[in-house]
Amino acid sequence: MNFALGWAREIVLALGWDFEVWSEPPEAELANLHFLAGYRRDWLFSEDLLAESGRPDLPSPVEEREQDTHAAEEELA
């Protein structure tokens, strides 16, 4: 790769610009990107599940932890 891009490197550096050759990201980073990209595909998720998860009467995980914390504090008091 360096040989193939050597001429481009010389020209770019002669102009005072920086030159970098990039390849694939580390395997873990690429796996994370693929995982996150899945959230762009709404057809992968059940409409019923999505509708249920947005129900206002269901506590969020944060609210559940707050409730657990308050209950534990009351037991200790």
- Inside any domain, residue 72: yes
Task: Tell whether pTM > 0.85.
Answer: no
Question: Is pLDDT of 55 > 70?
Answer: no
Position 28 scores a pLDDT of 92
**Burial category of 46 from C-beta neighbours within 10 Å (exposed 0-12, middle 13-18, buried 19 and up):** exposed
Position 64 scores a pLDDT of 66
Average pLDDT, the chain: 78
Q: How many domains does the chain have?
A: 1
- Inside any domain, residue 29: yes
| Single-letter amino acid, residue 10 | E
- Inside any domain, residue 32: yes
**Burial category of 12 from C-beta neighbours within 10 Å (exposed 0-12, middle 13-18, buried 19 and up):** middle
Instruction: Give me the half-sphere count of Cα atoms (radius 13 Å) on the Cβ side of residue 12.
Output: 10
- Inside any domain, residue 1: no
Determine the structural domain holding residue 13 and report its residue range.
6-76
- Inside any domain, residue 39: yes
Comparing 62 with 14, which gets the higher pLDDT? 14
